[in-house]
Structure 1
């Protein structure tokens, strides 16, 4: 079980565990995969014993035709199930999934598995496929082994989920202007929510700043912010290297929302990789409460000898507003707003806008 728990720290550990399991089981083709049938997100297939071409075909196409995965949605967690219990053989053999994916692999009709995690229509499953000729010899011992491993595998997966949430929060805190843990969410290009930490789920449930619709897509309560977010998604799909975007989310208190494109392929050694869509570009959002400091404008003017206009521009920039938005708020041209910002940066002796934001964030925290 050491190899299984190593998967909680590094997803590559699951690969080593599955290779060992295939060998110890006498040739069962083992796998672990996740699927979200609402967002149509595939969390990837980790396997041992399958041909590489079949793994590629599953990830790119057959995962969405997997009637066995859909069938386990109706069964409880941690209960070992044979595939015949999930889908009757007569029905299974009539499917494209069987005809073009299971049968070509020496008719790997037998086997079974266990549900490790289930939430709404999202599942993580550990299982194994057994060739028809080996069903009588291998299936019963395999299901017994699944019953023994299930609690350990669930614990390892839960550890990975906790670590993934902590990793999101560490990233978010580094970019946040709030000392409190922000809400963190990962969504795909269609806005469907793939992952959320506890604070993010609480914000979704409250519905004052963000909410989820019936298709589990994120929506901002303020229509203008929702439009900004949609524009950002479109830009990122066209220009993947676009810089992170920040904007203010009004909800009575005021949240600062920061968004960035997140590439799953860059996270192969991270527990978070287990919970992101396979090969799919995702988008990382953080929502942190805007710091309220009535004395901050006066402190900025005194310390850096800023004018009132320069102070306002600097604070608006730190809140995530663009120059165009600042100009509109100040009722001046973008050219004037840019000159005021340049003047503020010169007095604060910084060359980059990020350094200006860092100074203001530090002053807000009283450091």
Structure 2
């Protein structure tokens, strides 16, 4: 490849760094620079097979669709390359020896019908907690001897720029999540995490990492799952449908405001951001911020909502997730008395339900770091 073509490619890659929707243009430019290589940018999950997207050129859309619906799970090249460290460049024959490839359904029903495109190779651009980003190229057996050396050389030359561009993409995606979490916490300094349905941590901002390292009020277990120090082992995180707030108390008695909810689609509205952070599929936003001390909170609820001290104390207990029966036992009164006080507090606030009261109080009790 001449220097002009390489410069044009590098410019396209750097453009994609700040405008990730231009990655498709990068793939098309690579194809123009080295026709016949069928380049593709794709993501794979931890086992190296299924991924959230594929960007291609030169491939028939029929085969791309078939790959994403069926053959991605049978890809014998992906697992080996995905396990290699970022910066690795590898020939297809190194990912899977040809004598093994030729006996697979993946080869017989997907590779061979496309001109026996078993040549080429790929490079590992980046790895995240949940996914690996790969750039690959497929070359037909008829053109392998002439094109494969040039393709492998091009991968080596482009890889530094590709990795730099993806790091910029990652910082942009992190900033988007940080902004969303800060908005949820109403501008307060907060610990912000993104977790998958099994509570594995996919993203944690600096404040969250600090608290995770300290082990309170949140920590990570040996499987990188988010755990709250204040809850019994094995019990679920304080999750709620939609975006909801609750409270927890750590071992030192300090109170923390917790917001949880589905990660809004407009936070990561492009495939690039989702893959950059390994966030393909259903994900949850977990936001944690410190609260004022108990006497301050009771006084704030009294002053703001017009509650009596008893009503404020019971409302505060509700925001911490305590059941009515637990509150009654703790206060040494009947469940009936507590229910009546809750009903009165709900009426004073012009609300309709106990949940509305708890959510309203939780928002009022959220403490600003600045005081």
Task: State the TM bucket, normalised to the shorter chain.
Answer: 0.7 to 0.9
The question of 1:13 aligning with 2:13 is answered no
User: C-alpha distance in 1, partners of 2:266/2:370?
Assistant: 38
| Runs of 5+ unmatched residues, structure 1 | 233-241
Corresponding residue for 1:141? 150
Q: CA deviation at 1:90?
A: 1.3
Q: CA deviation at 1:157?
A: 1.0
Aligned equivalent of 1:86, options 60, 85, 95:
95
Corresponding residue for 2:274? 273
**Tell me, what secondary structure is at the counterpart of 1:42?**
coil
Q: CA deviation at 1:160?
A: 1.4
Q: CA deviation at 1:63?
A: 2.8
User: C-alpha distance in 1, partners of 2:203/2:69?
Assistant: 21
Number of aligned residue pairs: give it.
348
Corresponding residue for 1:229? 237
Equivalences for residues 202-241 of structure 1 within 5 A:
202-208=210-216, 209-214=218-223, 216-224=224-232, 227-229=235-237, 232=240
Aligned equivalent of 1:339, options 339, 343, 349:
343
Give the TM-score normalised by structure 2. 0.77
Deviates more, 1:26-35 or 1:262-271: 262-271
| Aligned CA distance change for structure 1 residues 228 and 145 (closer, same or farther; 3 Å) | same
Q: CA deviation at 1:39?
A: 10
The question of 1:243 aligning with 2:242 is answered yes
| Aligned CA distance change for structure 1 residues 9 and 68 (closer, same or farther; 3 Å) | same
Corresponding residue for 1:22? 31
- What is the alpha-carbon root mean square deviation over aligned residues? 3.6
Corresponding residue for 2:108? 99
**Tell me, what secondary structure is at the counterpart of 1:172?**
helix
Larger RCO, structure (CA 8 Å, separation 6 or more): 1
Corresponding residue for 1:191? 199
Corresponding residue for 1:127? 136
Answer whether contact 1:10 1:271 (CA < 8 A) is retained: no
Larger C-alpha radius of gyration, 1 or 2? 2
Q: Which deviations, in whole Å up to 9, do the C-alpha atoms of 1:249-308 show, x marking residues without a partner?
A: 443245433221236698433752233668622222223344447534335434654311
Corresponding residue for 2:3? none
User: C-alpha distance in 2, partners of 1:311/1:8?
Assistant: 51
**Tell me, what secondary structure is at the counterpart of 2:250?**
coil
Give the TM-score normalised by structure 1. 0.78
**Tell me, what secondary structure is at the counterpart of 1:311?**
helix
| Aligned CA distance change for structure 1 residues 79 and 312 (closer, same or farther; 3 Å) | same
Q: Which deviations, in whole Å up to 9, do the C-alpha atoms of 1:201-251 show, x marking residues without a partner?
A: 55555544232444x44444555585343875xxxxxxxxx4223333443
**Tell me, what secondary structure is at the counterpart of 2:245?**
strand
Answer whether contact 1:257 1:287 (CA < 8 A) is retained: yes
**Tell me, what secondary structure is at the counterpart of 1:37?**
coil
| Aligned CA distance change for structure 1 residues 95 and 267 (closer, same or farther; 3 Å) | same
Answer whether contact 1:182 1:199 (CA < 8 A) is retained: yes
